[in-house]
Amino acid sequence: MKMEEMNAEPMLEVHDVVHKYGPVTALSHVSLSAGKGEFLTILGSSGSGKTTMLRVISGLEIPTSVSRLRIDGVNVAGMPAAKRRCTTVFQNYALFPHMSVVENVAYGLKIRKVPTADALKEARRALAMVQLEAKADRNIRQLSGGERQRVALARAVVTKPAVLLLDEPLGALDERLREDMQLELMELQRKLDMTFVYITHSQEEALTMSDRVVLMRDGRIEQSGEPLDLFDRPATRFAADFMGYENILDGRLVRCEGGVGEIELAGGAVVRGTLVTPDALPGSAASIALRAERISAVASEECGIDGTLKSKVYRGKYTDMVIETAAGPVRMRSWHGAPTENESVNRIGWKVTDAVIFADGGV
Ligand SMILES: Nc1ncnc2c1ncn2[C@@H]1O[C@H](COP(=O)(O)OP(=O)(O)OP(=O)(O)O)[C@@H](O)[C@H]1O
């Protein structure tokens, strides 16, 4: 779905929320919104405020202050959790062990006073969506971890919430299963055209699944945008580090023109990259971020820096190298068969579009 369409009709609007637990400020003036059918991911490390945000949306936590909190256009600030049109899927599934699979899924409908026969019919339909129709009459204890998580999902979507909140739902699964479930979740979300708000600490998970990512840090939003924005255009040192940039070198901005920045690094080398903080002024402190696999030892690259090979580790499909430069060590990853693999290194380079320069302090 196009961003303009999503923004035209927000399913979720949170404006200027502050939440304090005693002296701890868990959310500090955070605003976000999600459109109909949007997959929004809140990404951040432990303690950044992700869970608090979900709890405020779902009504499990009454925020210290909030200027607007709406779900599908309805003001829900002060409304009890059970009345809000949103449901949460938790990491620990929170299923009833004494009920069958289909009874677990039907439960949410029964407490909403849907007649039992209708509730069971709807529950079977929801189970079919997560490929569990055949196991509808089993006991929860007879299911694997992945299957339990699918039951939890079916139970959440059967009530047709306007917004589905997912609190690290794949955190308890092993890596292989997690990858499969990521794809299933994306498919389910598209099929239902439902708004998902997903929280995770995994940048890889956020990049794989989301239409939009909100990166949180210490109760504030550090950066938000489409996955590629965060991956290729981190706007701060923190965002670059969180998104897995192996090299972040500090210096001073000496020139900026047409979206390209030139930065003087320690040791005097001047290097270029794409400037993501366009209002930055020459003379200000700035950094350049480079991914190890976007660097090569080909002298013809658009820009670069002199350096010599310090260490080299073969890692099967690729080789990780550390290049010593006047600005400090730079990590480079060379895929097997690349021309640099067996040659000596005296200069490394990159494309301007592959390097990111941001002024310290961010946008
Ligand atoms: N009930 C509570 N009482 C006091 N402080 C709390 C409480 N819940 C959370 N906090 C604090 O609020 C901050 C944000 O916590 P929150 O659980 O929202 O972060 P998170 O990003 O979800 O972390 P995690 O990934 O570990 O779940 C942290 O400093 C945390 O210690």
74 and 185 inside one domain: yes
What is residue 337's predicted lDDT score, i.e. its pLDDT? Answer: 60
Please state the atom number of ligand 1 nearest to the C-alpha of residue 219: 14
27 and 110 inside one domain: yes
90 and 9 inside one domain: yes
The DSSP symbol for 59 reads T
158 and 206 inside one domain: yes
What is residue 8's predicted lDDT score, i.e. its pLDDT? Answer: 60
What is residue 342's predicted lDDT score, i.e. its pLDDT? Answer: 54
For residues 54 and 61, the answer to whether their CB atoms sit within 8 Å is no
CA–centroid distance, 208 to ligand 1, in Å, is: 25
Q: Would you say the CB of residue 15 lies under 6 angstroms from ligand 1? A: no
The H-or-E segment that residue 249 falls in is strand 247-257
What is residue 120's predicted lDDT score, i.e. its pLDDT? Answer: 94
The DSSP symbol for 341 reads T
Has residue 298 got a pLDDT over 80?
A: no
The last residue of a domain, from among 232, 266, 282? 232
Has residue 2 got a pLDDT over 60?
A: no
245 and 323 inside one domain: yes
- Write out 134-159 in H/E/C secondary structure: HHCCCEHHHCCHHHHHHHHHHHHHCC
Please state the atom number of ligand 1 nearest to the C-alpha of residue 201: 25
User: Which pLDDT band holds residue 129 (cuts at 50, 70, 90)?
Assistant: confident
Q: ipTM of this model?
A: 0.96
Residue 154 backbone dihedrals phi, psi, to 5 degrees? -60, -40
The last residue of a domain, from among 232, 252, 279? 232
* Domain region containing 260: 239-359
Q: Would you say the CB of residue 200 lies under 6 angstroms from ligand 1? A: no
CA–centroid distance, 316 to ligand 1, in Å, is: 39
**% of the chain at pLDDT higher than 70:** 94
Has residue 363 got a pLDDT over 50?
A: no
82 and 143 inside one domain: yes
What is residue 5's predicted lDDT score, i.e. its pLDDT? Answer: 47
90 and 202 inside one domain: yes
Q: Would you say the CB of residue 21 lies under 6 angstroms from ligand 1? A: yes
The last residue of a domain, from among 179, 210, 232? 232
pLDDT tens sequence across 149-165: 889 999 999 999 999 99
Average pLDDT, stretch 253-268?
Answer: 93
Average pLDDT, stretch 312-325?
Answer: 90
Has residue 267 got a pLDDT over 60?
A: yes
Q: Would you say the CB of residue 26 lies under 6 angstroms from ligand 1? A: yes
Identify the three-state secondary structure at position 274: strand
Has residue 338 got a pLDDT over 70?
A: no
Residue nearest to atom 12 of ligand 1 (CA): 26
CA–centroid distance, 121 to ligand 1, in Å, is: 39
165 and 295 inside one domain: no
219 and 247 inside one domain: no
Residue nearest to atom 31 of ligand 1 (CA): 47
Q: How much helix, strand and coil, in percent to the nearest 5, is found in the chain?
A: 30, 35, 35
251 and 315 inside one domain: yes
User: What is the number of structural domains in the chain?
Assistant: 2
Residue of higher predicted confidence among 6 and 84: 84
Locus of tokens 């006047």: 326
Please state the atom number of ligand 1 nearest to the C-alpha of residue 55: 18
CATH number at residue 288: 2.40.50
Q: Which of 17, 27, 45, 51 to mutate to test the pocket of ligand 1 (most atoms within 8 A of CB)?
A: 51
Give 223's strand partners: 215
pLDDT tens sequence across 88-104: 998 777 888 889 999 99
Residue 144 backbone dihedrals phi, psi, to 5 degrees? -80, 170
CA–centroid distance, 47 to ligand 1, in Å, is: 5
How far, in Å, CA of 333 to CA of 336, rounded? 10
Q: Would you say the CB of residue 171 lies under 6 angstroms from ligand 1? A: no
CATH number at residue 133: 3.40.50.300
pLDDT tens sequence across 191-245: 999 999 999 999 999 999 999 999 999 999 999 999 999 999 999 999 999 999 9
168 and 111 inside one domain: yes
258 and 276 inside one domain: yes
What is residue 301's predicted lDDT score, i.e. its pLDDT? Answer: 74
Q: Would you say the CB of residue 349 lies under 6 angstroms from ligand 1? A: no
b/e per residue 116-130 (b: at least 16 CB within 10 A): eeebbebbbebbebb
Q: What mean pLDDT is reported for the chain? A: 90
